[in-house]
Amino acid sequence: MKYKVNLYSHLNMLSGFIIVTASCLSFILFLFSSFNKGIAAFILFYLILYAIPVIVIHLDYYENNKQYIIEISEDLLLINVNNNISLFSSADIKEIMFYMTPSSLQNSSFRSLPFEKYYYVVITCLDGSSFYLTSLLSDKLAYMLELNFKDVLIKKQGTLYPIIIDKHG
């Protein structure tokens, strides 16, 4: 199956954020007829807790995978970046490491923060090279990698805020 960053993947990942934003805007418009300190505090709280973290992760994931088109099939991963095609089999991959929020690790459908459905994967090859794949490519990325690379060491690491920090990939 082919995966790439497209309008659907953007909207799918941002759906919780869009719903919370629309709800907050409706709440503000309904309760406050004029701008005051209460509304300013509410907007600041919303920006700090919801909007900024989602925007930062989303842009980080987009920047990492905007040129990627990947295909995952049994025991094979094909990565096309700007028409440079790389093919990896289970024999080429040393480890697949998932970085996910605790609710994603537990496969929970309850998410209190809109960035909790974001996660990324570091695939380390036997030759020492590594690269990143993000949930912006597909929200089923983890499932597809686990299903098709059963012979590869797969690890999962919990993180509260799954932003890609070490950009060696």
Choose the weakest-confidence range: 5-14, 92-101, 122-131, 142-151. 5-14
- CATH number of the domain that 91 lies in? 2.30.29.30
Could you list the residue range(s) of the whole structural domain that residue 75 is in?
1-169
Strands (E) across 9-108 are located at 68-73, 76-81, 84-89, 93-100
pLDDT tens digits, 26-56: 777 776 666 677 777 777 787 777 888 899 9
Place of tokens 């686990």: 146
pTM score, whole prediction: 0.84
Work out how many domains the chain is built from and give that number: 1
Determine the Cα–Cα distance for residues 22 and 123; give it in Å rounded to an integer: 36
Determine the Cα–Cα distance for residues 165 and 139; give it in Å rounded to an integer: 21
